[in-house]
Structure 1
Amino acid sequence: MHRSAPRLTRILACAAVPVMLVVAGCSSDSDGKTPDKGAPQSSGGTSKEAPKDTTPSVAPAKYAELPEPCKAVTVKTIDELVPKAKSKAGTPSTSTDTDARGGCSWNGLVDKGLKGSQYRWLDVAFLRYESVDTLGSGEKRATESQAKEIAKLKATEGAKNVRDSVASGVGDQTTTVAYTLRKTGEDFVYATTVARTGNVLVILNYNGTGYAGAETPNDQKMMDGAVKATKDAVAAITAANK
């Protein structure tokens, strides 16, 4: 078939360019009037946004404040559980972070002359847990710590007559562990309550012994005393956060 000169010139020119340019401008034999349907189409310059993280954060901690440890147990309770306390105001424990932890202790000796003496010790500790995305809510962390503390108490080295009891109506969850431990030649009876209220853990220890022939304290009475003081401490947490 006879080809016109202009058309033949265009075909020869296209044959001389690199192959990748041929695809763009020489794929049609219709004088450039038909667009290349195989060429990639522009998306308009828009790009997809990175998916947003929809993972919910942990719930905020319930309590932001701790009570003053030495004021957390009422004077009335101290008088009952620690007669003749050396200081009803208590002795505060040392803490480098009073927003997260604190404690106080009381002790006293009642001398009954020929009937011997009764010694009592009471201490309370507060541990507050913040909510942390990588660790869980404050409540979850306090619950985990509570389980560990109870397990440690039950495994106290040298402890005898170990038993535990759940105290209802004290915080969210409360367990008291009682046991007898031989110290300084006497049998000391311990009752330690581990209570959780929200994101705060209360560990309250009440112990005592009878000296010079005095009767050894009854473990149930010691447990009851520990629970009584723990109720004061839990109420103090609520009051501190009003």
Structure 2
Amino acid sequence: MFVLSGEHPTLPTAEAVAAIKAEHRAYRVLEQLNQVLVAETKASPEVLASRLAMCREICVHLCTAHASKEDILESVGSSDIVDLVPHGKSFAVHLKRVKRSSPEIDTLKLAKTIANTIAEEVEFKVDLAHPDIELLGVLTGEQCTLGITTARVNRRQLARRKPTLRPAFHPSTLMPSFARCMINLARTPRGGMLLDPFCGVGGILLEAGLIGAKLVGIDINREMVEGARKNLE
């Protein structure tokens, strides 16, 4: 289950699928909701999280329910959640809302109710800040999809690499999230070769290098090439 950023209507989903393909793993899309993609794959969540830009969390999908308190609690109760929460581990339930989905649901109260329901079967310690295990629910449209968080995308690192903070800047440079997305859409494999024939000051090359690709950059403007070299050092 991919919890997507929503910064573009189609690119986050396309990037997630392309990243799976870049890792040479099979996949099957099970559900495609607003800012949520549920897919069956054996690709490593940690590896995918290290590649992706337009995703927030990757979870083991448990269930999808109609966005009502009763249906959500019923789906959680009939899921495998009890088998996935070891006794004695710290645990938290967090619910997110996509835009204005299900405004009638109080996410804090429902999260507490879900936690209490699970506590009837499993002994755990509540830790909302740094839990060993997090059950994440996303209210999206008329659905609520829930899963156990297994990996997070470090989007703060993307922000720290914004073009204006680099040694060489040019206004045509893509923002890191879009550059990384392009790398994944090209299905660039780790350890594979990426050629950027119009590399500019190296925004795409930088993101490709960070996933472990071998880099070749070309530009008609020598100053751009020198700028790319500085940014990649």
Normalised to the residue count of structure 2, the TM-score between the two structures is 0.27
Q: Give 1 or 2: higher helix fraction.
A: 2
Larger radius of gyration: 1
